[in-house]
Amino acid sequence: MNGLSFAAVNLSKEEIQMTEVIVLTDQDVENLVTFEETMEVVEKAFADWTLSKSHIFPVVREEIKKHQGIFGIKSGYLEEQEALGFKAGGFWVNNKDKGLTNHQSTMVLFDPATGQPQALVAANFVTKIRTAALGALGLKYLARPDSRVLAVIGAGLQGRNQLEAALKILPGVREIYLYDIYHAGALKLAQDLSHYPQEIKVVTHPEEACRAANVIITAASSYQAIVMAPWIKPGTHINAIGTDTRGKQELDPQIFAMAKVVVDSMDQCLYLGECQHAYDQGIISRDSIHGEIGELITGRKPGRENPLEITIFDTTGVALQDLATAGLAVNRAKEKGVGVRVNFLGK
């Protein structure tokens, strides 16, 4: 962590009454923050959480059966950055038929000192870049730095984002295996990435990809195991990205019996994450999980300790990532005059 700094703003009574709400589009956010900056603020947010300087509030997550959607609210407070707020949104299965992305999210940030709204932020890009940044942190602390073969299971938007982030952290990767249950999707991603210097192989079965890989990224949002324990060789690291709801599953639970397991949030991962199946079956316990990513970042616990360890990073996503990223974007927007200003509460 190199230290982007954040300063709280002290406003007069008159200024508070006339505080403007900044409205940012996804394109605004994309223009305001870089991947490297996002990774840095997300890393700091998890470190601060471990040090009790960031706070996560209870998650709301419900199914909207009428419209085949999952709706959730994640909220929290970053003390140093003075970012208080929530992200609301989720996943709607039928959105592609309407020309929309399946994932939809919006954020609202508030002044922690007054409770007044500060910003309304379209958060689809926030979700994209903060998830990729956290996946990259899992690789930074747990993957072998000499990894040369990467397998991506799930060739959708998140699979692509995770792949691109992985290549920034693991510059030695020479081969990329792609698998998706929709073979055409994997072929399309391979075509889009054909200018990459790595050799890209599209496979029709995940076993070939997993047996070859040093690093496996799962981003398939599946409801049954895709990656099986016998396919995992010593030294492999797995970033489990796609499972964030009860019932979802990408990994054979027996892999957890072979691995050092790190999570983003212990409570969330045991209930909503890839850990849920191994935990429910008694394969792992809360005590057998190595730790949370913030403990690795702060040095309280080690990451990878030898080249033959099998490691898993289970991530469900937490509000800290969203607040750190959106807070950075809003600060930049204030500096650069970007976005639409609305006098929401002023007289």
48-91-166 Cα angle (round to 5): 55
Q: At residue 22, what are phi and psi to the nearest 5 degrees?
A: -90, 130
Judge contact between 111 and 87, C-beta under 8 A: no
Across 282-297, b (16+ Cβ under 10 Å) vs e yields eebeeeebbbbbbbbb
CA dihedral 132, 327, 261, 163 (to 10 degrees): 0
3 state DSSP class of 302 = coil
Alpha-carbon span 193 to 59, nearest angstrom: 36
Distances (CA, A) of 185 to 96, 152, 154: 14, 12, 9
Residues 6 or more apart whose CB falls under 8 angstroms from that of 176 comprise: 149, 150, 151, 152, 163, 193, 196, 198, 199, 200, 201
Q: At residue 165, what are phi and psi to the nearest 5 degrees?
A: -65, -40
336 catalytic? Reply is no
Tell how strand 60-64 and strand 69-78 pair up: antiparallel
Could you report how far apart the first and last alpha carbons of the chain are, in Å? 42
Q: Choosing from 44, 74, 87, 248, which is the catalytic residue?
A: 87
Element (H, E) at 118: strand 117-122
Judge contact between 55 and 152, C-beta under 8 A: no
Active site residues: 87
